[in-house]
Structure 1
């Protein structure tokens, strides 16, 4: 059974279109199993602002105190996850929301407790619950909240969580859903690009601005052991039943085919 991991940032969820969901339906009709891992940065920041807590970041990772972690879990599990599951079901897709810490699904360890607080990285993925849902043709929608060996819930970067799940479940594709069609070079959409090309384009200034964090997220997934990832748009179709639309980024080696 072929699987597709779809990483959807919190800023993109509200912009997903019927055409995007139609692509998901086409994948399911061709017996693909779908797994979502989502972020929720804007929703988290909005809630922290209501609590008068200023967001802090270190090397791109959110510093997470116990108070912040409560807000992170409340927002991701109680709002963002519910929102994405609802959108999937409204478009005729069976979906089930899963907190990453449930059933010890995402097993994590601290990155640097002194600098970052309750922030972790994935050590292992307990596939049992995910596979149970996939066998019933249910799209699994996972929050990037890990659980440590001693039972602490840890905030995990959603891109890194997505890469870990894709690797552990041998997903054929790992899609990063964005607000753009893919990578544009000299005004032209590039359908295939190598990891080396990406670094060259950034150095040459051909990939700039908001595109840089998008491609760096994809590169980070490749560094986690994936062979190939795609950047696709959440505002239009990315799969028509035969062809994939977006930019495929090829790594040096890995598991994706």
Structure 2
């Protein structure tokens, strides 16, 4: 069964309907694909840091992670967020197991910035696929929190998009970045249109011209990173319309595919 890694960001999580979780469980039950969820948790981490009066800053979109910030990020992502997702999948009739990247050295990590400017921010060096295979063979949906560990046992905070791309690459699966809009949109001839697919060149051009902006920029760039890392296919899908998940798995048009090839016909 084909692997489908679903990256669900913290900002989207609060908006996802119960039908999203039912669809994820249904895809597994119908043998259409094996879902693997990698989640983020930015807004919840920000809120928790405020409550604990812990200062935090960002450099190029990445959170500078001190040990204190890391403790809070781990508590939020591996605790409340992970268990909420697992609970919703099980309420929808599935079986799910929450894992952090620390468990069984699932996400073996190296520092993203060897100079230490970002603190304990890591990138995935290797994924323990045998652990994921065991969870999948058990009939479960893995729910992964992006906190990793290096060979010495040091913990690292990992960007959720980067973690999802690494997992999809290691499992030789597809990568779906779950959003709250139908895909990459553009107003053409006075009408809002969703692009069926975009190449790297088109994405950079649309970022430069302001057509792709805000939170969509990291999504499209993560989709591209996934492709360059060996992911079979990357797509941006609307989690608020769960049918799009099924359409994509069945090879029908849904969301915006991010592709390497040029000269392909698309909207």
Fold-level similarity (TM above 0.5): yes
TM-score (normalizing by structure 1): 0.91
Instruction: Using the TM superposition, give the Cα deviation of residue 215 of structure 1 relative to its aligned residue in structure 2, in angstroms.
Output: 1.8
CA deviation map 1:146-202 (0-9, x unaligned): 11111111111111111111001111x200011111111221011222222211222
* Secondary structure of 1:115's aligned partner: coil
Instruction: Using the TM superposition, give the Cα deviation of residue 45 of structure 1 relative to its aligned residue in structure 2, in angstroms.
Output: 0.7
In structure 2, the residue matched to 1:219 is 224
Q: Single out whichever of 34-43 and 183-192 deviates more from structure 2.
A: 183-192
Q: Single out whichever of 86-95 and 32-41 deviates more from structure 2.
A: 86-95
Label 1:191 to 1:66 Cα distance change in 2 as closer, same or farther (>3 A): same
Distance 1:220 1:63 in 2: 21
Distance 1:10 1:53 in 2: 19
Structure of greater relative contact order (alpha carbons < 8 Å, 6+ residues apart): 1
In structure 2, the residue matched to 1:194 is 199
- Aligned residue pairs: how many? 252
Contiguous gaps of at least 5 residues in structure 2: 263-267
CA contact (8 A) 1:134 1:140 kept: yes
What does residue range 51-130 of structure 1 map to in structure 2 within 5 Å?
51-112=52-113, 114-130=116-132
What does residue range 1-257 of structure 1 map to in structure 2 within 5 Å?
1-28=1-28, 29-112=30-113, 114-171=116-173, 173-186=174-187, 187-237=192-242, 238-240=244-246, 242=250, 243=252, 245-251=254-260
Distance 1:42 1:189 in 2: 27
Instruction: Using the TM superposition, give the Cα deviation of residue 252 of structure 1 relative to its aligned residue in structure 2, in angstroms.
Output: 5.2
**Cα RMSD for the two superposed structures:** 1.8
Q: Single out whichever of 236-245 and 132-141 deviates more from structure 2.
A: 236-245
TM-score (normalizing by structure 2): 0.88
In structure 1, the residue matched to 2:265 is none
Instruction: Using the TM superposition, give the Cα deviation of residue 14 of structure 1 relative to its aligned residue in structure 2, in angstroms.
Output: 1.5
Distance 1:65 1:201 in 2: 35
CA deviation map 1:99-158 (0-9, x unaligned): 111001100011225211111111101111110011122100001011111111111111
* Secondary structure of 2:205's aligned partner: helix
Contiguous gaps of at least 5 residues in structure 1: none
